[in-house]
Amino acid sequence: MEVSKWIAICTGSILDRRGSYRTVARRLIGPCALVILLVPNGAVAQFDEPLTLNPDVPLTYTVQPADTLWDISALFLRDPWRWQALWGGNPQVDNPHLIYPGDTLSLVWESGQPRLVRAAQGDIKLSPSMRASPLDLAIPPISQQHIEPFLRQHQVVEVATLDRSPYVVSGDGGRLISGVGDTVYGKGKWDDALSYRLVRRVKKLKDPVSGEGLGLFVSDIGEARLQDAPAEGGAAAAMIIAEMREEIRIGDRLLPMKEAEVEPFYQPQAPSKVISDAYMIGVAGGVTQISVLDIVVINRGAREALRVGDVLAIDHTGELVKDPVTSKPERLPDTRAGVLMVFSVYDRASFGLVLEATKPLSVGDKLSNP
């Protein structure tokens, strides 16, 4: 579709398409946000919500080793989760979203849209053989340093699943607490596994709106291995504690070992559907205030079409104050206070990583489409 003109909305001003894109960009990038709109000839504009650049965005940026695509997108975009619309293709790699430390990125305009592209390196043409960087050197969309350890130590399980699982009935010599190298005795319905995760209930998850049970948030506290094949009928079996993160106690549950499902890349995206009545209902680590890089439990999951990578806005619940005139309690409006990305999805619950927070957050804050 031919574009006859473009409109840049910045403090109410409208600019015609005059001069080069670079010249216009330099005039617009300043103390206001930039919104780029495409308007077709003789028609009302029909487009997705336009990208909005941050104030005072740089025209160039050199990628640092610790950067993520989210970090760089947040430098340029008001809504970093829309990073895929901003990035230009990298012709030296198959995946156009792979960039590397040391690359210089330039902000340009293509057909009226802001784009980030890797700057040309003088007159040198890089061939694929010259750009043979392994994929694991490319900067990731989201840092995994907080996600992977969490997934190896936490999960959501159904109440019935945990209730049917074997459990520690006793320590060696009747001990109540055991550690690495100690023998414990497990009892229950065993499957074919020889290694088991020792887990402990952290919290029973409950939907704050409907009251529906959403499962159990459990913590992985260690690993135990059967010494011999257990007898039939659920009789107690001897186990050796191979690893521990907390002291092993009587009553701790045993789940078959399996690898945590960790995505190789987490790519932020908008939810495919409107997510309603979503809340942060728990937080890892027992903290009372939630901030950036904290991990939270969400009362929505695959049943509500939530996906790994979905980004949700966080609305901080308005404070309850006393009306000075009526003396009645008054709830202040909710305020936009942050952004999180879903990184693990269960049927009725999910885990999310807080990526942005403009104020302290708390359990009970509402989540919505960004």
Q: pLDDT at position 91, please?
A: 52
Say if 263 falls within a structural domain. Answer: no
Tell me the pLDDT tens digit for each residue of 51-77: 888 888 888 899 888 888 888 888 888
**Rounded Cα gap, residues 176 and 321, in angstroms:** 48
Q: Which of the listed residues 106, 137, 168 is the one where a domain comes to its end?
A: 137
Q: In terms of domains, do 113 and 213 share one?
A: no
Q: In terms of domains, do 207 and 313 share one?
A: no
Q: pLDDT at position 138, please?
A: 63
Q: In terms of domains, do 160 and 250 share one?
A: yes
Q: pLDDT at position 65, please?
A: 83
Q: In terms of domains, do 232 and 305 share one?
A: no
Q: In terms of domains, do 106 and 52 share one?
A: yes
- pLDDT cut 70: percent of the chain above it: 76
DSSP character at residue 235: -
CB 22 within 8 A of CB 108: yes
Q: Which residues contact 320 (CB under 8 A, 6 or more apart)?
A: 329, 330, 331, 332
Residue 218, H or E segment:
strand 213-226
Say if 292 falls within a structural domain. Answer: yes
Q: How confident is the model at residue 86 (pLDDT cuts 50, 70, 90)?
A: confident
Q: How confident is the model at residue 2 (pLDDT cuts 50, 70, 90)?
A: very low
Q: pLDDT at position 133, please?
A: 38
Q: Which of the listed residues 108, 137, 166 is the one where a domain comes to its end?
A: 137
Tell me the pLDDT tens digit for each residue of 297-315: 999 999 999 999 999 999 9
Domain range holding 100?
3-137
Q: pLDDT at position 319, please?
A: 87
Q: pLDDT at position 343, please?
A: 94
Q: In terms of domains, do 126 and 155 share one?
A: no
Q: In terms of domains, do 224 and 314 share one?
A: no
Q: Which of the listed residues 137, 168, 184 is the one where a domain comes to its end?
A: 137
Say if 101 falls within a structural domain. Answer: yes
Q: pLDDT at position 73, please?
A: 83
Between CA 276 and CA 280, with CA 277 as vertex, the angle to 5 degrees is 115
Of 164, 36, 177, nearest to 109 (Cα)? Answer: 36
Q: In terms of domains, do 12 and 133 share one?
A: yes
CB 101 within 8 A of CB 67: yes
Tell me the pLDDT tens digit for each residue of 20-53: 322 233 222 233 333 333 333 333 232 356 788 8
Tell me the pLDDT tens digit for each residue of 99-139: 788 888 888 888 777 888 876 543 334 344 334 333 445 66
Tell me the pLDDT tens digit for each residue of 245-279: 999 999 999 999 887 777 767 888 889 999 999 99
**Could you tell me which residue, 204 or 134, shows the higher pLDDT?**
204
Say if 19 falls within a structural domain. Answer: yes
Rounded average pLDDT over 217-225 = 95
Say if 245 falls within a structural domain. Answer: yes
Q: In terms of domains, do 127 and 181 share one?
A: no
State yes or no: pLDDT of 183 exceeds 60: yes
Q: In terms of domains, do 89 and 125 share one?
A: yes
Say if 272 falls within a structural domain. Answer: no
Q: In terms of domains, do 209 and 108 share one?
A: no
Question: Are β-strands 335-345 and 350-357 bridged in parallel, bridged antiparallel, or unpaired?
Answer: antiparallel
Say if 239 falls within a structural domain. Answer: yes
Q: What is the CATH number of the domain that holds 347?
A: 2.40.10.410
State yes or no: pLDDT of 164 exceeds 60: yes
SS (H, E, C) 78-141: CCHHHHHHHECCCCCCCCCCCCCCCCEEEEEEECCEEEEEECCCCCCCCCCCCCCCCHHHCCCC
SS (H, E, C) 290-337: ECCCCEEEECCCHHHCCCCCEEEEEEECCCEEECCCCCCEEECCCEEE
Say if 269 falls within a structural domain. Answer: no
Query: How many structural domains comprise the chain?
Result: 3
Q: In terms of domains, do 63 and 162 share one?
A: no
Q: pLDDT at position 11, please?
A: 29
